[in-house]
Amino acid sequence: MPKFAANLSMLFTEVEFLDRFEAAARAGFKGVEYLFPYDYPAEELKRRLDANGLTQVLFNLPAGDWAAGERGIACHPDRVEEFREGVERAIAYARVLGNTQVNCLAGIKPEGGSDDQARATLVENLRFAAEKLAAAGIRLIAEPINTRDIPGFFLNRTEQALAIFDEVGSDNLKLQYDIYHMQIMEGDLAPTMEKHLARLAHVQIADTPGRHEPGTGEIHYPFLFAHLDRLGYDGWIGAEYKPAGRTEEGLGWLDAVRS
């Protein structure tokens, strides 16, 4: 059976962030992920993890001014130094939290910039981050994101991402495959995950349309969960969706997988 992690940036928002660790554990999750840890002391987050028997599965590198609409800076030529400082900050948090993988958000292509310039910057930043994180025993992952929800997001298809990874040339860089985003951008979910299984380090889920819990839209999640089991995928699956109602009321999909 797949291992599921609750994304605390999106689930259990009925309570304050630090109380979501307990809520996730009570609901049966064994791991958690979230967008960013940086607003809280690492030691306090670690205390919440330990108190609830949870594994810290994933968080993102610093991604610029999120409140202002930035969604990553890794493809921004004028933000390289800021990106590198963010890598060091993420390593410091990961060491305290016991986190073994960190996600890089490529970002929205800078206005007026070329695709070639954005790509070259992303390649160099990923190469830097992969090396630094490897030295700390942490895996770097990166994900394509759909351009309907985030217009202009530079990394937006599986094959594009893997071609960039090939150019980076690091064994410490793997793919985060978000089923919701890739259903919107390209479909063909099961064959894509099978083809690239060896490069797949993390999966995230939400249904479409709506980005709500599995079972509320067009994606046949029971088949995909069984498919990942058949393939021997042993990584985590992050529940990164917007509950249609109260989080606990929409966890029937998880109960069905366990039964």
At residue 258, the pLDDT reads 82
At residue 41, the pLDDT reads 98
Catalytic residues: 143, 240
Asked whether the CA dihedral 243, 247, 250, 255 is positive or negative, the reply is positive
Strand pairing of 31-33 and 236-239? Answer: unpaired
pLDDT means over runs of 10, the chain (259 residues): 93 98 97 98 98 98 96 98 98 97 98 95 98 98 98 98 98 98 98 98 98 98 96 97 97 89
The pTM score is 0.96
| Triad 38, 234, 13: Cα angle to 5° | 35
At residue 202, the pLDDT reads 98
